[in-house]
Amino acid sequence: MEVRAAETDTHHTHVTLTVASREKALRDETLSTLVECICRLNPEASVVSLAQRVSGDDLHPVSSAMRRLLRLCPSGVHLGILCSDPSYRRPRDIVIQCKRGILLGPDNGILLPAARELGLDAVYEVSSRSPWLSTPSSTISAVEVYGSLAAYLSMGLEPEKVGPRVGQWVSRSRGETAVQQGLQPVATAPRGV
């Protein structure tokens, strides 16, 4: 897939990565894979990364770290992920268009605090992975999908091209998970449900 920055006003050369995991080796491997994938596809990208240690399933420290990183970095493409056990069923992937940047990651609540801070405009579900892959393969990892998509977004791919706009997404705060519609909670459940 060819994306030319000259065709759009949404060219972002800055990419920030916030990767969280209980295991340092997994964080390091994930970050190195993401940086390699982004820089291979977009050699002009400026990549800033943050590794965050987490314990349990509390995403609050991760979303807080991501928000701190965004305050220091210019608008661009911001990827936030929580590395977990391979048996964990990943939520859908989303891209959030904001007034001052683009957020990318799983629909698990990690992105919403940053989206609110950057001026949330729209949320899109990543419906097709194949166009974003640098090397299509049946064994491609989620990390490579995120890296490829972040690179394409940094080169000017418009968020609405990744899939349909969605009206509901997950928001997590301490102690509860809420499904958001717009910015209003429509259902809540105790964490872990």
Residue 190 lies in a domain: no
In this prediction, residue 87 carries a pLDDT of 46
Helical segments of 83-193, H only: 112-118, 142-154
CATH assignment at residue 152: 3.40.50.10790
In a domain, 178, yes or no: no
Answer whether residue 183 is part of any domain: no
Which residues are CB-neighbours of 183 under 8 A, at least 6 positions away? 116, 120
In a domain, 74, yes or no: yes
Instruction: Tell me the one-letter amino acid at 191.
Output: R
Domains of the chain: total? 1
In a domain, 143, yes or no: yes
Does residue 6 sit within a domain?
no
Inside any domain, residue 180: no
Q: Chunked in runs of 10, what are the mean pLDDT values of the chain (193 residues)?
A: 41 80 85 91 89 74 81 83 63 89 88 88 81 52 85 92 85 49 40 36
Task: Provide the domain limits for residue 80.
Answer: 11-163
Position 73 scores a pLDDT of 76
Distance CA 111, CA 93 (A): 11
pLDDT at 130: 52
CB contact at 8 A, 36 and 15: no
In a domain, 106, yes or no: yes
